[in-house]
Amino acid sequence: MKTVRFEPINESLEVRTQSDILQALLAKDLKVLMACGGKGVCATCHVYIKSGMDMLTPHSDREKRSLGRITGADKRSRLACQARVLGEGVTVELPEGMYIERAEDLITYVGQRAATNILHPINGSVLVARGKIITRSRIEELKSLNVEVAKLRESV
Ligand code: FES
């Protein structure tokens, strides 16, 4: 068993050696959309490794490709579904924002200001910035997202 630390929520979890970070996030009840079903091709399980990168399995080619198109990814980035824990000292930082899967996910928020950035599930770009009002017209503009996610699902 190994201990993984999560920030900024300041919590830890014991995980089995070789289990992936995604399992740890789910065990902590941290909502992960898993738009690609854990196949390493979406942005919804993107995390930053604050320490212990060398205690994780190396990036696969697929993960490198996916991280290459995620907005906000840098050398600390991993896809939680692809990174397995090998040793102690791993600290995971959760990116700020909420991923959506379908434009309609925002309907209950119409007329409200976004409490956090609303993020694209495939590339992580900001669809609605924190503080901006969520409008019906913005939701209409985002309908192409539904097609993109359906295509992603077909391709994996
Ligand atoms: S769940 Fe899609 S890349 Fe991890």
Q: Which residues line ligand 1 (CB under 6 A)?
A: 34-36, 38-42, 44-45, 79, 81
Q: Ligand 1: which atom is nearest the Cα of residue 66? A: 3
Burial class (CB within 10 angstroms; exposed 0-12, middle 13-18, buried 19+) of 42? buried
| Structural domains of the chain, ranges and CATH numbers in brackets | 2-93 (3.10.20.30), 98-155 (no CATH)
**Per-10-residue mean pLDDT for the chain, 156 residues long?**
93 95 90 92 96 97 95 95 97 93 93 96 94 95 91 87
pLDDT at 31 (0 to 100): 82
Residue 128: predicted pLDDT: 96
User: According to the model, what pLDDT value does residue 131 have?
Assistant: 97
Q: What pLDDT sits at residue 9?
A: 87
For 8-39, b/e burial (b = at least 16 CB within 10 A) is eeeeebebeeeebbbbbbbeeebebbbbbebb
Ligand 1: nearest atom to the Cα of 41? 3
Q: What is the pLDDT of residue 59?
A: 96
